[in-house]
Amino acid sequence: MTDALYLAETRQRTFEAHVERALDDRVVLDRTCFYPTGGGQPSDTGVLRDPVTETTWRVTGVEKRDTIHHMVDGNPPTAGTSLVGELDWERRYAHMRYHTAQHLLSAVLLEAFDAETTGNQLYADHAHLDCAYPRFSATDLADIEARLNDLVAADLPVEWYVLDRGEAERRLDPERTRLHLLPDSITEIRIVEVVGPDGTAYDRTACAGTHVASTGAIGSVEVVGRETKGTGEERIEFVLS
């Protein structure tokens, strides 16, 4: 199994690794900082470089299958090759900001509207989130935006850690962590926690994505629209600057 370095250290943008397997258009590495598409967060892109031959491969996508697969252009490097990987950092950092903002939005919607998040998709320059709610008014959206920007201004710490599933189910609020959405095969849960001003958790969610270390790094949040996504379901669109 590839050691997924991004789960512990989200700020690392370069790394050294060995090729474990080379397939037609992709490689499996022994360790990686490249995030694979999942949880509404797009994969990282970047380059892999062989420092001996100075050959470089563009990483065009990353997928989680049996383990993490890096799609590369051209003939992939062969098994055993030592490589240096480098992420397209601007893109990844934008994903981290958007993903953290999405956690805050999910928490605010639950807190203020009892609206549970049902889906989300983020990009490097915009994002949307779906939730169970009949319809938000313009005032609701303005209130949501103001609350999000208050949470950014408070610069709350964001922490992540792994819990045994049984412990997670005993200790954490099931509505907020949404552990019931995870397949039974998952026995260790990665928790992402936004720490409130009083030191207790403002929000805790089971999530394998990458996030910034404090809410201040998110930047200014603008709620740019809403649309109906079906009976009792709303989509909220937002951008960061």
- Which residues of this protein are in contact with Zn ion, per CB under 5 A? 99, 207, 209
> Closer CB to Zn ion, residue 81 or residue 117?
117
CB of 85 to Zn ion, least distance (A): 22
Shortest CB 106 distance to Zn ion, Å: 9
Nearer to Zn ion, 207 or 223 (CB): 207
Closest to Zn ion by CB, 47 vs 110, is 110
Rounded CA-CA distance 131/1 in Å is 35
- 3-state secondary structure at position 210: coil
Q: How far apart are CA 114 and CA 239, in angstroms?
A: 23
Q: How far apart are CA 140 and CA 112, in angstroms?
A: 10
In terms of CB distance, is 46 or 209 closer to Zn ion? 209
Q: Which among 26, 18, 13, 14 is positioned nearest to 2, based on CA atoms?
A: 18
DSSP letter for each residue of 167-204: HHHHHS-HHHH-GGGS-TT--EEEEEEEEPTTSSEEEE
Report the residue closest to Zn ion, judged by CB. 207
CB of 49 to Zn ion, least distance (A): 29
* Least distance from Zn ion to the Cβ atom of residue 225, Å: 22
Nearer to Zn ion, 23 or 162 (CB): 162
Q: Using the structure block, give the residue that is written with the tokens 């201004």.
A: 153
Rounded to a whole number of angstroms, the minimum distance from the CB of residue 60 to Zn ion is 23
